[in-house]
């Protein structure tokens, strides 16, 4: 049976250091970043009937502080799949939550918050802070620099890869890891390794805390 399809395309001008939120998406999410202040949103819909497409409600809203893309999640009509693509400024505060699909994010100079993701997550490069929780899939992130908020990953049911930037200085704390540890970053020292359940470490001269807990899979720490 052929699928019915539809598409939405919107453009916005965002304030400096805007907040960008994507939530309640039954499908894949990709967030590209670029210099400038313009944002684009493109959403494609697929369903087995035109009635399901017409019944689905998606909100794309420009707010004083940024942009919100909110789908119906589990409350929407059955059988509607989305693919959400955004291009936003690189300097943003990004939050993605409640996504039933993979998530891909480009380079972000700000904060990245990810939660309630059913699918793999890949973040190109973070200069700021990172928080990821409740991910049923693998997580791969490049850490270039961290502010005082650091990076916190918890409740990850899959392998975690933290790609360590050449100039990153941070402290590392790992607890509740059910998997092996593989490290290739030259500027890292570890205490407790190779026993993987708990360990501490330092990257470069130390600094903001990278905390990992409740990881059900391998932890890899290669150079970026």
The domain spans of the chain are: 4-221
The predicted structure's pLDDT at residue 18:
96
User: Are 219 and 179 contacting, i.e. CB atoms less than 8 angstroms apart?
Assistant: yes
The predicted structure's pLDDT at residue 26:
93
Neighbouring C-beta atoms of residue 205, cutoff 10 Å: 9
The more confident residue out of 194 and 65 is 65
The predicted structure's pLDDT at residue 198:
80
Render pLDDT for 92-139 as a digit per residue (tens, 0 to 9): 999 999 999 999 999 999 999 999 999 999 999 999 999 999 999 999
Confidence band, pLDDT 50/70/90 cuts, at residue 171: very high
Render pLDDT for 3-57 as a digit per residue (tens, 0 to 9): 889 999 999 999 999 999 999 999 999 999 999 999 999 999 998 888 888 888 8
CA distance 224 to 116: 26
Question: Hey, what are 41's tokens?
Answer: 């949103």
Residue at token pair 């270039």: 144
Question: pLDDT averaged over the chain?
Answer: 92
Helix, strand, or coil here: 74? helix
Render pLDDT for 203-214 as a digit per residue (tens, 0 to 9): 999 999 999 999
The predicted structure's pLDDT at residue 72:
80
Q: Residue 172's closest CA among 139, 156, 150?
A: 150
For residue 77, pLDDT over 80 is answered with no
The predicted structure's pLDDT at residue 73:
67
The pTM score is 0.93
> What whole-number percentage of the chain has pLDDT above 90?
79
């Amino acid at each position: 049976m052929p699928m019915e399809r539809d598409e939405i395309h919107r453009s916005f001008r965002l304030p400096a250091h805007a907040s960008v939120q994507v939530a309640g998406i039954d499908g894949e999410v990709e967030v590209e970043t670029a210099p400038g202040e313009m944002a684009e949103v493109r959403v494609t819909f697929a369903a087995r009937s035109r009635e399901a497409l017409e019944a689905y409600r998606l909100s794309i809203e420009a707010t004083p502080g940024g942009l919100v893309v909110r789908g119906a999640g589990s409350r929407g009509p059955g059988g509607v799949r989305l693919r959400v693509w955004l291009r936003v400024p690189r300097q943003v505060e990004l939050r993605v939550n409640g996504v039933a699909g993979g998530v891909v994010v480009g380079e972000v100079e700000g904060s990245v918050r990810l939660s309630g993701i059913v699918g793999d997550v890949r973040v190109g490069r973070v200069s700021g802070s990172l928080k990821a929780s409740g991910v049923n899939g693998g997580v791969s992130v490049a850490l270039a620099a961290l502010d005082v908020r650091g990076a916190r990953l918890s409740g990850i049911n899959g392998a975690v890869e933290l790609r360590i930037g050449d100039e990153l200085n941070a402290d590392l704390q790992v607890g509740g890891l059910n998997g092996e540890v593989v490290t290739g970053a030259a500027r890292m020292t570890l205490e407790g390794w190779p026993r993987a359940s708990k360990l501490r470490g330092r990257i470069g001269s130390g600094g903001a805390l990278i905390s990992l807990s409740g990881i059900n899979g391998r932890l890899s720490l290669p150079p970026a």
